[in-house]
Amino acid sequence: MTQTLRQTMTDSSLPASPRWRSGLEQEYATLADTLAQLLPCLEVPLHLPWIDAIRQLKQQRGAVIMAHSYQSPEIFHGVADITGDSLALAQAAADCDSDLIVLCGVHFMAESAKILAPDKTVLIPDLEAGCSLASSITAADVRALRERHPGVPVVSYVNTSAEVKAESDACCTSANAVQMVEAMGVDKVIFLPDRYLGSWVATQTQVELVLWHGQCEVHEKFTAMEARHTRERFDAKIVAHPECAPEVLAEADFVGSTSAMGKWLEKEQPRRVAMITECSMADNLRNQFPNVEFIKPCNLCPHMKRITLPNIHACLRDLKHEVVVAHDVSVRARAALERMLAVGRRERI
Ligand code: 13P
Ligand code: SF4
All domains of the chain, ordered by start, with CATH? 3-128+305-318 (3.40.50.10800), 132-214 (3.40.50.10800), 219-300 (3.40.50.10800)
Q: Count CB atoms within 10 A of the CB of residue 195.
A: 21
Q: Is the distance from CB of 158 to CB of 173 less than 8 angstroms?
A: yes
- Can you tell me which atom of ligand 2 is nearest the CA of 194? 7
CA of 178 relative to ligand 1 center, distance in Å: 15
Q: Which amino acid is at 175?
A: A
Identify which has the larger pLDDT, 18 or 35: 35
Counting every residue written for the chain, the total comes to: 349
CA of 126 relative to ligand 2 center, distance in Å: 15
CA of 66 relative to ligand 2 center, distance in Å: 17
Mean pLDDT of the chain: 91
- Can you tell me which atom of ligand 1 is nearest the CA of 174? 2
Q: Is the distance from CB of 243 to CB of 174 less than 8 angstroms?
A: yes
- Can you tell me which atom of ligand 2 is nearest the CA of 132? 8
Ranked by mean pLDDT, the top range of 18-22, 174-178, 207-211, 262-266 is 207-211
Q: In what order do the strands lie in the sheet with 170-172?
A: 170-172, 154-157, 188-192, 208-211
Whether residue 218 has its Cβ less than 6 Å from ligand 2: yes
Give the pLDDT of residue 287: 83
Percent of the chain at pLDDT above 90? 79
Report the relative pairing of strands 272-276 and 237-240 from DSSP bridges.
parallel
Whether residue 215 has its Cβ less than 6 Å from ligand 2: no
CA of 233 relative to ligand 2 center, distance in Å: 28
pLDDT tens across 125-170, in order?
999 999 999 999 999 999 999 999 999 999 999 999 999 999 999 9
pLDDT tens across 82-93, in order?
999 888 898 899
| Cα dihedral 158/160/165/171 (nearest 10) | -20
Whether residue 159 has its Cβ less than 6 Å from ligand 2: yes
The DSSP-derived string for 292-308 is SEEE---B--TTGGG--
Which has the closest alpha carbon to 236: 267, 276, 197?
Answer: 276
Q: Is the distance from CB of 319 to CB of 125 less than 8 angstroms?
A: no
Model confidence at 9: pLDDT above 60: no
Give the pLDDT of residue 339: 94
Percent of the chain at pLDDT above 70? 94
72-86: average pLDDT: 95
Q: Is the distance from CB of 261 to CB of 277 less than 8 angstroms?
A: yes
Whether residue 307 has its Cβ less than 6 Å from ligand 2: no
CA of 217 relative to ligand 2 center, distance in Å: 7
Give the pLDDT of residue 5: 44
- H/E stretch holding 346 reads helix 327-348
Give the pLDDT of residue 347: 60
Confidence of residue 21 (pLDDT cuts 50, 70, 90): confident
Q: Is the dihedral of CA 267, 272, 275, 276 positive or negative?
A: negative
Which has the closest alpha carbon to 52: 31, 83, 82, 73?
Answer: 31
